[in-house]
Amino acid sequence: MTTLPFPRMLGLRQKFPVSTPVDLRATLQKEFPAITKRIKPGARIAVGVGSRGIANLQAIVAGVLDLLKAAGAQPFVVPAMGSHGGATPEGQRELLAEYGVTEKQLQVPIDASMEAERIGLTPDGVEVFFSTPALRADGVVVVNRVKPHTDFHSDTLGSGLQKMLVIGLGKRVGAANFHRSASRFGYEQVIRTSARVALQAAPVLGGVAIVENQLHDTARLAVVLPEDLERRETELYGEAKRLMPQLPFADIDLLIVDRIGKNISGSGMDPNVIGRSLHGYSALLSDRSTHPVIAPSLFRKRSFVVGLIIVAGFFAAQNGFLLAFNLLLQLGLHWSPLDSGLALIPWALGSAVGVGLAGAVLVAKLGRATLQLGLGCAAAGLIALCWTIVSWHDDLTAMTLTPALLAIGFGTGLVGVPIFEYVLGDSTTAEVGTGSGMLNAVQQFASAIGFAALGTVFFAKANHGTYDEAGVLVSALAAALFLITLLLVGLLPKQPRSN
């Protein structure tokens, strides 16, 4: 076995400009009267606090609460963190306690109710929800950090006060509705339009915006009134974006991060800082790198292009069939979800055996013929399943389905694991990272297309025939896809990529 010499290592330290220290209490005492002068004595004021690990969070929240008390108000804390903490009052209280935000330490109540009410619609028809305890209060003040978001890129908006009004105080139902709507209309559009609804329908008095520097310390504290919220947050966002630390390298072979977590970033480690998404590449790279995000050389390799088609066909057929098969058992044969799930045990067992044999024996001896064997076996199993459905009809049992499902599972097991190594067989070391990311994306996309396409075929056939006929048709289509990919495997490298 050849041992490679360990590369020479150099220690580097990145230095950032030192920010002017912020006197938190003095800043709040100077700016917060803009809010307190709008409060009547005895007013109940909800203070929204989130789940991120913000520097000096307890001190800032305590300062806000003290100023509210001094104005004669009765403040209380509302967790403004959507569905974090397991979407339970207890879980959200525990998250706040990790940052020192407790009833004992702050001497105010915490209302962690998960109840939320619908308060309106955006022009796009998106429902907006708001925490019931906060909505019933005489006023609401939100405290949050302003920074670039981890899931979308914008020059004017990220995480901040508007996001807390929409997602944080929307609680579980509001957060779920936001993310569902954002996939259709876009993150920024839904945050802005939903925040405008919240500002009109809820008793929002303003917010305290926090900007942090590259060393995760408070660089700016600003009290923002509701009528100026959008404009001021845009200004603060620009400052936060300028202060965001970034790794000084566009190309990295190995990145080791000491600490990750939702308390640090929504995605565990902030892609704005590391410059990479979880798949190892991101559009963020194109802002700072002369190298393209995805190597064009990959698409000049026949094996990779053909491999993308094979991966798409394989996972579309496999996952689309699984959906249709469960529909057949539950809708056509009236099996319970438990029974239909147990019926797939032979598939799982066959797949486990296939994966084991492929890795331990077959790939080394047969090379890419392992993939052809697996696809052929899976196609044969699907054809056998068609025969079983037609022959047994209403008398189908888990036992009669077992032989066909074992064959399908065994075949897909032979293919599912080694396929990626063959598709990347001709790729260089520099291309493997982005190539793997693309294959993973194609796998997910193809699975979704398989669900949609074969599910549609199933219901279309069932509506004009029987569930049995629908199951047979989908099984036959999946078998055809497996056979087409079997033919294409001959264009892949004979041996998998060597690690």
For the CA atoms of 201, 202, 205, 208, the dihedral, rounded to the nearest 10 degrees, stands at: -110
pLDDT of 376 reads 96
Taking the domains of the chain in order of start, what are their residue ranges? Answer: 24-243, 249-261+268-289, 297-489
Q: What share of the chain is helix, strand, coil (3-state, %, to 5)?
A: 60, 10, 35
Common-topology check for domains 24-243 and 297-489 = no
* Half-sphere exposure at residue 74, Cβ-oriented, CA atoms within 13 angstroms: 8
pLDDT of 265 reads 73
Tell me the backbone φ, ψ of residue 49, rounded to 5 degrees.
-130, 135
- DSSP string covering 46-112, please? EEEE-SS--TTHHHHHHHHHHHHHHTT-EEEEEE--TTTGGGSHHHHHHHHHHTT--HHHHTS-B--
For residues 417 and 431, give the distance between their C-alpha atoms in angstroms, rounded to a whole number.
20
Q: Is 113 exposed, middle or buried (0-12, 13-18, 19+ CB in 10 A)?
A: middle
- Tokens, residue 15: 């230095």
DSSP 8-state class, residue 290 = S
For residues 495 and 9, give the distance between their C-alpha atoms in angstroms, rounded to a whole number.
34
Fold of 24-243: Rossmann fold (3.40.50)
Alpha helix segments (H runs only) across 418-466: 419-423, 429-464
pLDDT of 284 reads 46
pLDDT of 173 reads 96
> Do the Cβ atoms of 232 and 162 come closer than 8 Å?
no
- CA dist 444 to 144, 182, 499, Å? 34, 19, 24
For residues 276 and 286, give the distance between their C-alpha atoms in angstroms, rounded to a whole number.
10
- For 297-489, CATH gives 1.20.1250.20
Averages of pLDDT over runs of 10 residues in the chain (499 residues) are 73 88 96 96 97 93 98 98 93 95 97 97 97 98 94 90 97 94 93 97 98 94 97 96 86 81 74 68 44 65 90 95 93 91 94 90 88 95 94 85 95 89 80 80 93 94 92 95 94 76
pLDDT of 302 reads 86
pLDDT of 2 reads 60
For residues 192 and 185, give the distance between their C-alpha atoms in angstroms, rounded to a whole number.
11
Residue in 77, 67, 80, 82 with CA at minimum distance from that of residue 46: 77
